[in-house]
Chain A
Amino acid sequence: MIPASWFLILAALLFAMGVAGFSLKRDLVSMVLAVEVMLNAASLAFLTFARSAGSLDGQVVVLFIVTIAAAEAAAGSAIVILFFRTKRSVRRDAADIMKG
């Protein structure tokens, strides 16, 4: 049997890599992708705790995380496309003024 701590360490590692990716990447699309990595790390932690508690509620939470991620992906892509139309670029440096 695999100890739960392995899964939790993997989740922590994925979350930290998501944070690193979010601050390292220079364009908006990759930054949103890094956020997805963090969401998945949270899902993994939820599933691990659900598994070790022998309860199904954690799995329901993960289903909701996937739903929220889909909504976030739709709204996020719309914002990225709108930003691209305004600035002709998706580089992070292009977002330097509040008023588009």
Chain B
Amino acid sequence: MAPVLFFVLAATCVGSVLGMILSRDRTHGALFLVLAFAALGGIFGLLDAPFVAAVQVLVYAGAIMVLFLFVIMTIDPVEGRRPERMRGLGVPAILLSVVLLGEILLALGGIAVAVVVVPGFDGTTATAGLGTLLLGEYLYAFELASILIVAALTGAVALAGRKDGR
């Protein structure tokens, strides 16, 4: 059951990222990524990380991608939907990513044999442990992340919130 689920989710994920790369419409690209990230949330669930899976679907596929859709829809009516061509850079870009993929797989080859998924720890205690870890050992990092979010949002308002158009 689990391997079938993995292959379905992985195919959905890879397929929608491919769709994002190949689609000429930005809105379609963003919607493809929503699907990809939701499927990736399912894969996180298969890795016994229920809380992270929920965060992935709620925050990533939900909030962050909707933010990007807002930006796209702010821009699109003005600029229109000019079809974008992929000339010039196409071949080197694909070559680069294929070489990179080969390199990563080569690097994984040494360790991937040694790493085997061990049969599970309990999901509920894992989430409780995650909370303890986040507000215990990683408390400073947690607080720094909050400050970073506030700084980023303040910066975003300061940058894009101007009325005079400069």
Q: Which residues of A contact B (CB under 8 A)?
A: 1-10, 12-21, 23-27, 29-30, 32-34, 36-37, 40, 43-44, 47-52, 54, 56-57, 59-60, 62-64, 66-75, 77-82, 84-86, 88-91
Contacts and interface: CB of A to CB of B under 8 A. Distances in A.
Contacts of A81: 71, 74-75, 159-160
A56 to B, nearest CB: 5
B71 A24 contact: no
Contacts of B85: 26
A66 B53 CA distance: 11
Given A8-B112, A71-B149, 15 more contacts: A2-B6, A3-B116, A5-B115, A9-B108, A14-B40, A19-B100, A21-B17, A24-B90, A26-B84, A34-B20, A34-B21, A48-B115, A54-B118, A59-B49, A81-B74
A20 B21 contact: yes
Contacts of B75: 29, 80-81, 84, 90
Contacts of B118: 51-52, 54
18 contacts: A2-B117, A10-B14, A19-B100, A24-B21, A24-B90, A29-B68, A34-B21, A43-B44, A44-B44, A48-B115, A52-B115, A59-B51, A59-B130, A63-B55, A69-B64, A78-B155, A78-B160, A90-B79
Given A7-B47, A24-B21, A24-B86, A37 B67 contact: no
Interface of B: 2-3, 6, 10, 13-14, 17-18, 20-21, 26, 29-30, 33, 36-37, 40, 43-44, 46-49, 51-52, 55-56, 59-60, 63-64, 67-68, 70-72, 74-75, 78-79, 84-86, 89-90, 92-94, 96-98, 100-101, 104-105, 108, 112-113, 115-119, 121, 126, 129-130, 133-134, 138, 141, 145, 148-149, 151-153, 155-157, 159-160, 165-166
